[in-house]
Amino acid sequence: MKSAYYIGIMSGTSLDGVDAVLADFTAPSLQLLKTHFLPYDERLRSQLLALHQVGNNELHRAAMMSNELSVLYASAVNDLFKTSGLVAKDVIAIGCHGQTIRHCPEAEKNYTIQLVNAALLAELTAVTVVADFRSRDIAAGGQGAPLVPAFHQAIFMRPEYSRVILNIGGISNITSLELGKAVIGFDCGPGNLLMDAWCLRYIGRPYDQDGEWASSGEIIPTLLEKLLAHLFFSLPPPKSTGRDMFNMTWLEQYLVGHEKPEDVQATLLQLTAQTISNSILDYCPNSEEIYVCGGGARNGLLMSCLSGALSEKSVGLTDQLGVDADWVEAYAFAWLAQQAIMGVPSNLPVVTGAKGSRILGAIYPA
């Protein structure tokens, strides 16, 4: 059978860098052939972070950043070519998420912005590029997120098990795959992004390796209670969120000023664990197996807090289902590109709240 090679490129809300995968979607078994990670340097990360807020000449800065990101994405694609021995004409399309700098699906705004110059990426790689996956769902009244549940359903659903796929990136999101029931999927709240920002400020590292620093602190119950009172956590799905809602400014308003930094870190980790476990217990009570992916899966303390809070369920990694936890999201964008190229809808209206199924993504031919 002829191969169906697609490339998926994800750069998520954590602003840690670019995940790129080469996949072959030829039946019978899906195959993740090659992977490549390109970390952002400090300058790029802080310029992207600055674009999350109103600032001087931001349209120009956003356009320049889109160009720079596209050069980076192209270099990740070239690396996949090198390691696989494939060339541009072998690959049907690249699905590129782009870098989110605003996500405002709410009624009066109805927009989301992911930076990427897809035309430039097509030019640099000579491969067809599919980008802007979220806008069409928002135009149809949806949240434009999460988009990965359709992919989770396609590759992880098994009739004999009730499963939840939990992604812990900058934001956390779940997909519930339960026999005989519609797929449920929504953002639970902050995943790593608050922990990362706090860690960078106080110990100068981009993230708290394995939750080690958090484990030296103690949860501050009054702070945790205030954070948990955010309206987002009690909203029913469909719902999605981002840095627009959960950021350091939001956190700072609840700090009295004399907290030990490690205690705040412990509290933020608990916030992530508790909002995820509450989401699962409230909306997927019958689930038996939880499979975790995303960088948060590498945080041992967070994983053990989750296992403790979900003690009736088995908690493991998507690695056990055959897909390494670090690459599920990028893999999803390769799959979403295939759906777009084949002209098949890939949003789940029941998840995003859109008024119907839509083909997602804008196609820039090679």
State the nearest-atom distance from the C-beta of 126 to ligand ATP, in Å. 26
Q: Which residue is nearest to Mg ion (CB)?
A: 12
Nearer to ligand ATP, 92 or 330 (CB): 330
Nearer to Mg ion, 14 or 176 (CB): 14
State the nearest-atom distance from the C-beta of 269 to Mg ion, in Å. 18
Nearer to ligand ATP, 209 or 311 (CB): 209
Q: Which stretch binds ligand ATP (CB under 6 A): 6-14, 38-46, 182-190, 216-224?
A: 6-14
Residue 238 site contact among ligand ATP, Mg ion, none (CB < 5 to 8 Å, cut-off depends on kind): none
Nearer to ligand ATP, 51 or 162 (CB): 51
Residue 13 site contact among ligand ATP, Mg ion, none (CB < 5 to 8 Å, cut-off depends on kind): ligand ATP
Three-class SS of the chain: CCCCEEEEEEECCCCCEEEEEEEECCCCCCEEEEEEEEECCHHHHHHHHHCCCCCCCHHHHHHHHHHHHHHHHHHHHHHHHHHHCCCHHHEEEEEEEEEEEEEECCCCCCEEEEECCHHHHHHHHCCCEEECCCHHHHHCCCCCCCCHHHHHHHHHCCCCCCEEEEEECCEEEEEEECCCCCCEEEEEEECCHHHHHHHHHHHCCCCCHHHHHHHCCCCCHHHHHHHHCCHHHHCCCCCCCCCCCCCHHHHHCCCCCCCCHHHHHHHHHHHHHHHHHHHHHHHCCCCCEEEEECHHHHCHHHHHHHHHHCCCCEEEEHHHHCCCCCCHHHHHHHHHHHHHHHCCCCCCHHHHCCCCCCCCCEEECC
Binding to ligand ATP in span 251-280, by CB under 6 A: none
Choose which of 24, 58, 79, 210 interacts with ligand ATP (CB under 6 A).
210
209 lies in the site for ligand ATP, by CB under 6 A? yes
24 lies in the site for ligand ATP, by CB under 6 A? no
- What pairing do the DSSP bridges indicate for beta strands 91-104 and 129-131? parallel
Whether the Cβ atoms of residue 106 and residue 143 lie closer than 8 Å to each other: no
Choose which of 6, 7, 9, 12 interacts with Mg ion (CB under 5 A).
12
Binding mask 157-186 for ligand ATP (x = CB under 6 A): ----------x-xx----------------
16 lies in the site for Mg ion, by CB under 5 A? yes
Q: How many residues bind Mg ion (CB under 5 A)?
A: 3
State the nearest-atom distance from the C-beta of 325 to ligand ATP, in Å. 8
Choose which of 5, 7, 12, 73 interacts with ligand ATP (CB under 6 A).
12
Binding to Mg ion in span 142-201, by CB under 5 A: none
Q: Does residue 123 come out as left (phi exceeding 0), alpha (psi in the -120 to 50 range) or beta? A: alpha
- Count, residues in the chain: 366
Residue 196 site contact among Mg ion, ligand ATP, none (CB < 5 to 8 Å, cut-off depends on kind): ligand ATP
Q: Which residues bind Mg ion (CB under 5 A)?
A: 12, 14, 16
Q: Which residues bind ligand ATP (CB under 6 A)?
A: 10, 12-14, 16, 167, 169-170, 192, 196, 207-210, 294-296, 298-299, 329
